[in-house]
Amino acid sequence: MTVVPKIAPSLLSGDFAKLASECQRMLDDGADYLHMDVMDGHFVPNLTLGAPIIKSLRPHTKGFLDCHLMVSHPEQWVDDFAKAGADLFCFHLEAAEDTSALVKKIHEKGMKAGIAVKPNTPIEDVFPYAGEADQILIMTVEPGFGGQAFMTSCIEKVRKLREKFPSLDIEVDGGLAPDTIDAAAEAGANVIVAGSSIFKADSPKDMIKLLRDRVQVAIDKSSA
């Protein structure tokens, strides 16, 4: 199975006062996923949206809600996010008590399961679970805040994961922009989270297209 490009604007960079219209604007501009950053002020030093906001948003968008939970004890939130209408529940490997059991629970609740790893976590730690999950998220910044600089040291992790799991959805999040997308895409990332570079662009639509085109070029090169 050949992977395909998926562009996931991070709504953390959007206007929370009009979240539903921001989501629709991103979908109209060509987004594949809507990346929702969930932070608890404990696992990461910031506090953002939670399940009640996802629940309120769900009736107003048909978009794929890619929920990235930067939280301690992610197990306690599976039911709430499933009921709220999340499409993908991505938890941090570093926060999970039993990774395989958590992936199974997420699937049983009808959601796709993602596993995220922080920049200093060895990618090999996620190998035992990558075959069970639907997506692996490699953080290319320290989780918790938007607008950070892309960490090139994380690229080798993407490459190692792609070599071992050629058909896996590999997501990268943090500092993705025109000057960093090629490195991530050529290493094997196909799901691109971008906040500032999309929302602050003169034309978010053109930026989404640029990111997707760059990923497609890298995919075509690797399969040639």
pLDDT above 80: residue 4: yes
The 10s digit of each residue's pLDDT in 39-58 is: 999 999 899 999 999 999 99
Binding residues for a divalent metal cation: 35, 37, 68, 173
Rounded to an integer, what distance in angstroms lies between the CA atom of residue 75 and that of residue 177? Answer: 33
Domains of the chain, with CATH numbers? 6-223 (3.20.20.70)
| pLDDT over threshold 80, residue 99 | yes
Res 27 pLDDT > 60: yes
Helix axes 204-223, 19-28, angle to 10 degrees: 50
Neighbouring C-beta atoms of residue 2, cutoff 10 Å: 10
**What is d(CA 15, CA 20) in angstroms, rounded to the nearest whole number?**
10
List, as residue ranges, the binding site for substrate: 10, 68, 144-147, 175, 195-196
The reported pLDDT for the residue numbered 150 is: 86
Catalytic positions: 37, 173
Q: Are 189 and 138 in contact, with CB atoms under 8 Å apart?
A: yes
Band (pLDDT 50/70/90 cuts) for residue 110 is: very high
Nearest to 198 by CA among 215, 217, 212: 212
pLDDT digits (tens, 9 = 90+) for 181-204: 999 999 999 999 999 999 999 999
Instruction: Supply 128's token pair.
Output: 């035992």
Query: Residues 204, 29: contact at Cβ < 8 Å?
Result: yes
- Mean local confidence (pLDDT), 122-132: 97
